[in-house]
Amino acid sequence: MDSRILSCADIEFLLYEWLNGEALTQRPRFADYTRETFDTALRVCERIATEKFANHNRKGDKEEAHVVDGKVQLVPEVREALAAFAEAGLIAAAQPYELGGMQLPAVVERAGFCWFLAANMATTGMPFRWELPKVDAQLERLEALDDTTLTMQDHWF
């Protein structure tokens, strides 16, 4: 069944025909990937966006976020959606393997994020607009520092 959120054909055209994303598999950094693995990642994004983000788009608009006792209250589906996003490893999708990421090319990551933006701008907007950009800046700072904490061995303790 075709998605009611986005056109898979449009995403694939933009990624593979216009941007030649498949050529990235020829680069050493992305040698573990094929077009099929990129497509699998995109289908995971489509599934989570459809099942966990789109399902509360209207409800989130009708029941706006509000503050109760100093804490922001959102519809419970927001937590479920963001948890599914995190559990799928999408928070670190473009980050290197050695840092726990999937090492997807950024263009494939962004193509996958289109599904979330189309499914529910409000739920997608807060963490993607305000929180995830901080991760890249923090990661750059961490990568520039001593990597001892990343290379620690259990037998050292």
Tokens 């990937």 correspond to 33
Q: What is the pLDDT of residue 134?
A: 64
Q: Which CATH number fits domain 8-124: 3.40.50.720, 3.40.50.150, 3.40.630.10, 1.10.540.10?
A: 1.10.540.10
Instruction: Kindly give, in sequence order, each residue whose CB lies less than 8 Å from that of residue 49, ignoring residues fewer than 6 positions away.
Output: 5, 115, 116, 118, 119, 120
The per-residue pLDDT for range 96-140, each reduced to its tens digit, is 898 888 999 999 999 999 999 999 988 888 766 656 666 666 667
How large is the average pLDDT for residues 28-54? 96
Q: What is the mean pLDDT of the chain?
A: 87
pLDDT value for 24? 95
Q: Taking residues 9-13, report their average pLDDT.
A: 94
> For the chain, which residues make up each domain, given as ranges?
8-124
pLDDT score of 31 more than 70: yes
Tell me how far apart the alpha carbons of residues 52 and 61 are, in angstroms, rounded to a whole number. Answer: 15
Residue 142 has pLDDT above 70, yes or no: no
